[in-house]
């Protein structure tokens, strides 16, 4: 049995958006310390790892850890109905998840079927000895991805002693973008070893899409290894992994 | 012969929008007391009944009642050109309707072919002894329809002594929404007998679409009978009927 | 060798937009006095002639006149990445054009392939003894084109002693629009002889699209001859020619 309450229904919507951008089904693990979800996207090239601590909820009653598998696309649609000033209540409803929006003068109760998605929970985060850490302003990273998108469906990231470089190349031309440390875009550069890798741009855009404006995103890189992307939405913590693109 | 003038061309556009959302052809009956139009939508499951009194016009000269059949989609396109500060003049032009936009420094004259659509005017409004009347804020009703739309293409309305309930059910889950009397959404509940019926959501959305923001919509219900929907756009009165959906 | 710098990267984007609306490839002629481009659209019914004087640049170094053929669609995509406060540098890069966006804290270098498009530069502007000149507010002309677009894919322009008339006719009705001299829409009317001609509406819309808001557009007309359309974007001068539509 569990009963979770969030004071701002729209905040929970942002959290779910950050997951559904990669995966359309997933299992929330509702435990004493908080709610987590880990899943591979259907193509298997990326992973999302989500955790929100119990302190983010105004009511958090969980008598034992429970796995709740959901169609996240449907959950997203339901959460899209959140209005200003609405609280959100999520309750165990047997083979359904009960979602209640509580406004000052009305109540809306949704029931969402619980799915059996055991295998989804088995994924572990990859262990990579990253060589470079780059912390960027989220809006700058969104612009960088857009720049590259005008030329290619892939983007190269490269770090050097004191710079973060972005590369893209297509029939329409080439892009080389240089961001120095301690600037508007770059909040922190921590380079143990110069690194470079190329990634699928669409996946990066989907990963970054839910990241709040004017916040920080951290990229961890190792040459030709998966990238790790971290950001927070309020108290919720997101970690994504994306496999590198190997030119053949 | 008739000559009708409206001081705000955009107001007449809103009136026509409320009709064209259901029917693409129709006959305006221009009579001494005002202009009316009644038509079934092509599928035959809904009807619109429109009336605007002569007092809504700054000039209203009608020597005898005239029927003017029009392609309403084309009329809508023409009215989309209305600009701020433009008056609108509609005049008899034989087999054409003359529409004149009169701005401070320019004139725009459109001529729209008059169609022969006699049968369209024969429809009578259905007579139903409604059991429940619900008056809602238009914006709340629009939100309610959107809520249901995330789950289904049908929506159930249900009234009880002191509540208006909304139900929707689909593969993605179930919705149950309760609105009590005297709240932000519900302006008036007048229940003779508890009623319930299910309707096509797309039709309801098209019907409500033209209803001005922050105004009142009234729903009249009887179990498994057509719903009647009323609202006003300024002085113009709209009544819609929509047949219930019978689950087979 | 050339090196051109513009202080506002977005301004150069507006200039390129005004060309790319008609042609997707073209050759910039970079000469002492400024940069010019002249091209027919692929269908051959319209021509654009662009010129921007050297004074529009904050740095303008050209040792000898150079022709730079470019895919303008690709150039447009690259320029879409311009951000506030960015300068733009364009440099000779052999068989590539180097484009550099220089922001307060970052640099973005694009390289765009240079194409061999010699024949494009051969077009001369047609010589027509125009009979009517109409100077309009750009926003009014945009509205006029939109009005006609609701009825037809063609638009007729007609001048008379003291009026500029717009005509459109389709299955959905007819439009006749009259603009008198010295009004909000018309800044100047200079009629040697009454003129009338009909034009493709889509081309006119593409031509006018890049014209800045609240500026002036000048139309030069002669009966059943091409129309000439002039406007400015800052210091840049645009002239377009569009062949008349001859009803068969």
Picking from B72-76, B177-181, C66-70, which range would have the lowest pLDDT averaged per residue? B177-181
Place of tokens 């995509």: C77
What percent of chain B has pLDDT above 90?
85
The edge-to-edge listing of strands for the beta sheet with C106-113 is A196-200, A154-160, A163-170, A173-180, C106-113, C96-102, C87-93, C2-6, C59-62
Average pLDDT, chain C: 93
Q: What is the pLDDT of residues B197-221, one digit of tens each?
A: 999 999 999 999 999 999 999 999 9
Dist. CA C65–CA B143, nearest whole Å: 63
Which ipTM score applies to this complex?
0.84
Dist. CA B232–CA B29, nearest whole Å: 19
Average pLDDT, chain A: 93
Do C105 and A184 lie within an 8 Å CB cutoff? Answer: yes
Dist. CA A167–CA A196, nearest whole Å: 10
> CA torsion, points A150, A156, A158, A164, in degrees to nearest 10?
30
Q: What is the pLDDT of residues C19-73, one digit of tens each?
A: 999 999 999 999 999 999 999 999 999 999 999 999 999 999 999 999 999 999 9
Query: In what helix (H) or strand (E) does residue B77 lie, and over which residues does it extend?
Result: helix B72-79
Residue B161, classed as helix, strand or coil, is: coil
Average pLDDT, chain B: 93
Asked if residue C18 has pLDDT above 80, the reply is yes
Asked if residue A122 has pLDDT above 60, the reply is no
Do B109 and C176 lie within an 8 Å CB cutoff? Answer: yes
Dist. CA B126–CA B239, nearest whole Å: 11
Domains of chain A from N-terminus onward: 2-122 (3.70.10.10), 132-242 (3.10.150.10)
Task: State the pLDDT at residue C180.
Answer: 84
Confidence of residue A119 (pLDDT cuts 50, 70, 90): low
Q: Give the DSSP letter string of A216-231.
A: EEEEEE-TTS-EEEEE
Q: What is the pLDDT of residues C177-186, one digit of tens each?
A: 998 887 788 9
Q: Which chain A residue's Cα is nearest to B178?
A: A107
Q: Are B48 and B206 in contact (CB under 8 A)?
A: no
Dist. CA C163–CA C184, nearest whole Å: 13
Greater model confidence, C107 or C159: C159
Do C150 and B104 lie within an 8 Å CB cutoff? Answer: no
Task: State the pLDDT at residue A20.
Answer: 97
Confidence of residue C91 (pLDDT cuts 50, 70, 90): very high
Q: How far is CA C192 from the centre of its chain?
A: 26
Q: What is the pLDDT of residues C194-231, one digit of tens each?
A: 999 999 999 999 999 999 999 999 999 999 999 999 99
Residues 6+ apart with CB under 8 A from B119: none
Q: What is the mean pLDDT of residues C114-118?
A: 85
Cβ of residue A180 closer than 8 Å to a chain C Cβ:
yes
Q: What is the mean pLDDT of residues A55-75?
A: 96
Angle at A230 between CA A225 and CA A231, to 5 degrees: 160
Confidence of residue C234 (pLDDT cuts 50, 70, 90): very high
- B183-209 in b/e form (b: 16+ CB < 10 A) is bebbbebebeeebbbbbbbebbbbbbe
Task: State the pLDDT at residue A180.
Answer: 85
Of A74, A81, A107, which is closest to B172 when you measure between CB atoms?
Answer: A74
Do A105 and B176 lie within an 8 Å CB cutoff? Answer: no
Do A150 and C78 lie within an 8 Å CB cutoff? Answer: yes
Count of C-beta atoms within a 10 Å radius of residue B123? 14
Do A151 and C81 lie within an 8 Å CB cutoff? Answer: no
What percent of chain A has pLDDT above 70?
97
Asked if residue A30 has pLDDT above 90, the reply is yes
Q: In terms of pTM, does the model score above 0.95?
A: no
Residues 6+ apart with CB under 8 A from C232: C215, C216, C238
Asked if residue B121 has pLDDT above 70, the reply is no
| Closest of A84, A88, A92 to residue A101, by C-alpha | A88
Q: What is the pLDDT of residues A136-158, one digit of tens each?
A: 999 999 999 999 999 999 999 99
Of A150, A173, A185, which is closest to C106 when you measure between CB atoms?
Answer: A185
Alpha helices (runs of H) in chain C, residue ranges in sequence order:
9-20, 72-79, 138-149, 201-209
Q: Which chain A residue's Cα is nearest to B166?
A: A108
Nearest chain B Cα distance for residue C98, angstroms:
45
Task: State the pLDDT at residue B181.
Answer: 82
Asked if residue B119 has pLDDT above 70, the reply is no
Q: What is the pLDDT of residues A3-19, one digit of tens each?
A: 999 999 999 999 999 99
Place of tokens 């609280």: A87
Greater model confidence, C104 or B40: B40
| Chains in touch with C (≥3 Cβ pairs < 8 A) | A, B
Q: Are B47 and B226 in contact (CB under 8 A)?
A: no
Asked if residue B144 has pLDDT above 60, the reply is yes
Dist. CA B235–CA A185, nearest whole Å: 56
Q: Are C241 and C53 in contact (CB under 8 A)?
A: no
Task: State the pLDDT at residue B117.
Answer: 82
């Amino acid at each position: 049995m569990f009963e979770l309450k969030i004071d701002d229904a729209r905040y929970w919507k942002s959290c779910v958006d950050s997951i559904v951008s990669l995966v359309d089904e997933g299992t929330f693990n509702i435990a004493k310390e908080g709610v987590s979800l880990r899943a591979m996207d259907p193509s298997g090239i990326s992973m999302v790892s989500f955790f929100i601590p119990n302190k983010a909820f105004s009511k958090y009653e969980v008598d034992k850890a429970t796995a709740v598998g959901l169609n996240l696309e449907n959950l997203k649609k339901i959460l899209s109905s959140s209005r200003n000033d609405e609280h959100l209540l999520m309750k165990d409803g047997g083979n359904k998840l009960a979602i209640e929006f509580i406004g000052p003068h009305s109540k809306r109760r949704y029931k969402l079927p619980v799915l059996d998605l055991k295998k989804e929970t088995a994924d572990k985060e990859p262990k990579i000895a990253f060589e470079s850490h780059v912390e960027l302003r989220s809006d700058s990273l969104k612009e960088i991805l857009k720049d590259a998108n005008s030329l290619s469906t892939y983007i190269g990231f490269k770090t050097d002693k004191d710079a973060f470089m972005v590369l893209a190349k297509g029939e329409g031309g080439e892009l080389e973008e240089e961001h120095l440390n301690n600037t508007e875009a770059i909040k922190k550069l921590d380079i143990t070893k110069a690194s470079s890798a190329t990634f699928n741009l669409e996946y990066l855009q989907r990963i970054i899409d839910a990241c709040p404006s004017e916040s920080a995103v951290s990229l961890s890189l190792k040459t030709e290894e998966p990238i790790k992307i971290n950001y927070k939405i309020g108290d919720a913590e997101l970690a994504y992994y994306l496999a590198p693109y190997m030119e053949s």
